Amino acid sequence: MMIKDEIHGTLEFDQLEEKVIDSGPFQRLRRIRQMSVTNVVYPGANHSRFEHSLGTSHLSSVIASRLGLDDDTAQC
């Protein structure tokens, strides 16, 4: 699965990560705003917990790679 992100570019997820992303609990994160009422002052500040979680997942895989973790350990 590939998702375009404004900050990190193209994010790639494996099949296990895709199952998690497609799950109901993860999809509900789309409706929760990460920045509370900031968008009232800054109309472009629309950021959901869903987007935040995708970026967090991407960055954790980057960190695992830089630490030299094997795939099984990184996936945990």
Residue 51: name the closest of 63, 40, 61, 59 by CA.
59
> What band does 65 get if pLDDT is binned at 50, 70 and 90?
very high
| pTM of the predicted protein model | 0.81
Which conformational region is residue 68 in: left (phi greater than 0), alpha (psi within -120 to 50 degrees), or beta?
A: left
- Supply the pLDDT for residue 26: 97
Give me the count of residues in the chain.
76
Residue 9: name the closest of 55, 52, 69 by CA.
55
d(CA 40, CA 15): 37
- Supply the pLDDT for residue 7: 87
Total number of domains in the chain: 1
Could you read off the pLDDT of 24-62 as tens digits, one per residue? 999 999 999 888 778 788 877 778 999 999 999 999 999
> What band does 18 get if pLDDT is binned at 50, 70 and 90?
very high
Residue 37: give the domain boundaries.
2-75
d(CA 28, CA 8): 22
